[in-house]
């Protein structure tokens, strides 16, 4: 499964063309529409707070509730675990490309929300149903593309909005409070079903309550770390900008990342965080009470600004200023991120770093022999690997230290069989010191303040609120897609399966879940970007018509 997902990811979200397609579309519309993210920014705030609203306008939610629902779908583990993952993979440079993705994404979000709102319909239950599938069918007359997008949305509701959220929540609560993942999954699954069964009105009400609370709570914890490490703020910003076009060099346990790798991961994680271009947020905004699609599009401009340029930046500064992104910590190894390679490598040796850098980033310098996975059998005594030939254990893209092999909770003694770098015996567990990524990395960063260990509890509580609200919002995206495909009567079966997947993901492999999220994000994004580009002239005329009526 891991190999299959990696192949699919290499064709989609991690492919070289994907960042250029995403950024290129945003840059095109930014120029084509005259920098709407700057010109319409203040107008979007006025619309948000009801200056141009009428209570009798068609729709199910207010502008604020629609924005809160959309934000609850974007402000999730991408802001806590996703930023940490981007920095772990690409170093400080990745944060720069997350910023760029958000800046042009403000325009992309404006366009997709406007067009989707314009073609929204009322379903058989009297609720508004909208999203890219409706403009694809009724605006482009491309029913096949609409069906493909709707199917991708259903899949993505599990792979992007559901499973990564529950997986990270369970991991965070286990790290901070010692709560077993299955307990987290069971309790929150029941709560989730109680919310989503009430439809968009209950979802919007919950989102409108949770989003402000979680944003304030998280900001307090982040500022505590940033203030405590104030002397590292300027160096952190400097690293972000200086590494942006050169890649991030090796430092500490971090073995380096090329420009292309940092660029791809920064854009990819930026999209996962703010979802600009993915086509998900338009589904939430379609429920807003208004007759003006362009006005709702202007409200959507605020999303990437709040999500990425504010919240993700705070997370990035916390991780960079605290220095945890290049430090090793005691952790349990996941096989997905582990490899045993031939040879003895050291971070103190530039040639070793260059060889491993090439191995991890797919670059093979001619001056260094290729790093190869070990195949064979080695002896383990009291949990320690004892081998005549030199071996190095790689975990989380770093040289692992103090590696301990265990079986049933006790140090293992016996023969360890390795095939192409991977341990063959699945009854064995591995632990030691290595780099961290995702939520565990952010948890460690939040401990580096005057709050001490209390900081990790802020992250854990914030994570629960962030991730739960995201999963709730994505259930709505999925049920609107199901409604489009097979009708409203199939929404309840979908919700039951959705809650079941939420529970299962709490005990699944973290890295496998994140790889699945890369794929599902791209499956929605690619057809949506193509669709809004084909409707560019209609978009431009809609904006011009809106402003002419506002002035009158």
Distance, CA of 254 to chain centre: 21
Q: Which of 414, 550, 514, 461 is nearest to 160 (CA)?
A: 514
Look at residue 399 in the predicted model and tell me its pLDDT: 95
User: Which is it for the CA torsion 237, 242, 247, 248, positive or negative?
Assistant: negative
Q: Are 384 and 413 in contact (CB under 8 A)?
A: no
User: In 94-155, at which residue ranges do the beta strands (DSSP E only) sit?
Assistant: 121-122, 128-129
What is the model's pLDDT at position 514?
A: 64
Q: What is the pLDDT of residue 51?
A: 77
Establish how many alpha carbons lie within 13 A of residue 537's alpha carbon, considering only the half-sphere containing its beta carbon.
3
> What's the full length of the chain, in residues?
552
- Residue pair 196/475 in contact (Cβ under 8 Å)? The answer is yes
Could you tell me if residue 432 is left (phi over 0), alpha (psi between -120 and 50 degrees) or otherwise beta?
A: left
Q: Directed axis angle between helix 93-118 and helix 233-243, to 10°?
A: 70
Please give the backbone phi and psi of residue 171, each rounded to the nearest 5 degrees, phi first.
Answer: -65, -40
Rounded Cα–Cα distance for residues 112 and 330 (Å) = 44
Q: What does each of the 552 residues of the chain score in pLDDT, given as a tens digit?
A: 777 877 787 787 677 788 888 889 999 999 999 999 999 999 999 988 877 777 777 777 888 888 877 777 677 666 777 788 889 888 898 899 989 888 999 999 999 999 999 999 887 777 788 899 999 999 999 999 999 999 989 988 887 778 877 887 787 788 778 888 889 889 989 988 988 888 777 887 777 777 778 778 888 889 999 999 999 999 999 999 999 888 888 889 898 888 877 887 777 767 666 778 889 889 988 888 888 999 999 999 998 898 888 888 999 999 999 999 999 999 999 888 899 999 999 998 988 988 898 888 776 555 556 788 999 999 999 999 988 889 999 999 999 999 999 998 899 999 999 999 999 988 899 999 999 988 789 889 999 888 888 887 887 787 788 788 888 888 888 988 998 999 888 999 999 999 998 998 887 765 666 677 678 788 889 999 999 999 999 999 999 999 988 877
CB atoms within 10 A of CB 182: 13
| pLDDT at 76 (0 to 100) | 65
Neighbours of 191 (CB within 10 A): 13
Predicted confidence at residue 220, as pLDDT, reads 87
CB atoms within 10 A of CB 60: 18
Nearest-CA neighbor of 493 among 517, 475, 468?
475
Ordered domains of the chain (ranges, CATH): 8-327+444-551 (1.20.1740), 329-434 (no CATH)
d(CA 506, CA 467): 12
**Residue with the two structure tokens 């809609």:** 542
């Amino acid at each position: 499964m891991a190999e299959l997902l990696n192949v699919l990811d290499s064709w989609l979200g991690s492919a070289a063309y994907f960042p250029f397609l995403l950024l290129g579309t945003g840059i095109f519309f930014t120029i084509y529409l005259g920098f709407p993210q700057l010109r319409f920014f203040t107008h979007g705030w006025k619309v948000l707070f009801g200056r141009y609203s009428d209570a009798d306008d068609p729709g199910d939610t207010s502008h604020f509730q629609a924005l809160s629902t959309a934000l609850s779908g974007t402000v999730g583990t991408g802001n806590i675990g996703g930023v940490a993952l981007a920095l772990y993979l690409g170093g400080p440079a990745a944060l720069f490309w997350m910023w760029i993705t958000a800046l042009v994404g403000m325009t992309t979000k404006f366009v997709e929300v406007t067009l989707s709102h314009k073609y929204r319909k009322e379903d058989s239950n009297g609720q508004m149903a909208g999203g890219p599938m409706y403009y694809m069918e009724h605006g482009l007359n491309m029913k096949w593309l609409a069906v493909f997008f709707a199917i991708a949305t259903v899949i993505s509701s599990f792979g992007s909005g559901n499973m990564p959220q529950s997986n990270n929540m369970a991991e965070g609560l286990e790290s901070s409070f010692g709560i077993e993942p299955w307990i987290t999954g069971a309790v929150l699954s029941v709560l989730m079903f109680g919310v989503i069964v009430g439809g968009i009105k209950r979802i919007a009400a919950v989102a409108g309550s949770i989003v402000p609370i979680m944003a304030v709570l998280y900001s307090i914890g982040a500022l505590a770390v940033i203030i405590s490490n104030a002397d590292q703020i300027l160096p952190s910003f400097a690293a972000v900008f200086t590494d942006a076009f050169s890649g991030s060099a090796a430092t500490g346990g971090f073995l380096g990342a090329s420009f292309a790798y940092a660029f791809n991961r920064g854009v990819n994680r930026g999209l996962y965080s703010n979802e600009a271009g993915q086509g998900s947020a338009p589904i939430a905004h379609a429920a807003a009470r208004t007759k003006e699609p362009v006005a709702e599009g202007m409200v959507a401009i605020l999303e990437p600004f709040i999500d990425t340029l504010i919240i993700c930046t705070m997370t990035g500064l916390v991780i960079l200023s605290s220095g945890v992104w290049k430090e090793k910590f005691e952790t349990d190894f996941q096989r997905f991120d582990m490899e045993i390679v031939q040879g003895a490598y050291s971070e103190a040796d530039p040639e070793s770093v260059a060889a491993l850098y090439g191995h991890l980033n797919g670059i093979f310098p001619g001056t260094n022999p290729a790093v190869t996975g070990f195949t064979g059998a080695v002896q383990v005594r009291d949990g320690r690997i004892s081998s005549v030939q030199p071996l190095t254990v790689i975990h989380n893209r770093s040289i692992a230290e103090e590696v301990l092999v265990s079986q049933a909770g006790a140090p293992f003694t016996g023969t360890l069989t390795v095939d192409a770098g991977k341990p063959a015996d699945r009854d064995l567990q591995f632990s030691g010191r290595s780099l961290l990524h995702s939520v565990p990395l952010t948890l460690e960063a939040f401990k580096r303040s005057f709050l001490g260990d209390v900081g990790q509890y802020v992250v854990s509580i914030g994570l629960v609120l962030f991730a739960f609200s995201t999963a709730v919002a994505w259930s709505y995206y999925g049920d609107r897609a199901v409604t489009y495909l097979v009708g409203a009567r199939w929404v309840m079966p979908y919700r039951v399966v959705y809650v079941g997947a939420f529970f299962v993901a709490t005990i699944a492999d973290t890295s496998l879940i994140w790889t699945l999220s890369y794929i599902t994000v791209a499956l929605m994004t690619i057809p949506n970007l193509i669709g809004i580009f084909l409707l560019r002239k209609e978009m431009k005329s809609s904006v011009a018509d809106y402003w002419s009526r506002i002035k009158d």
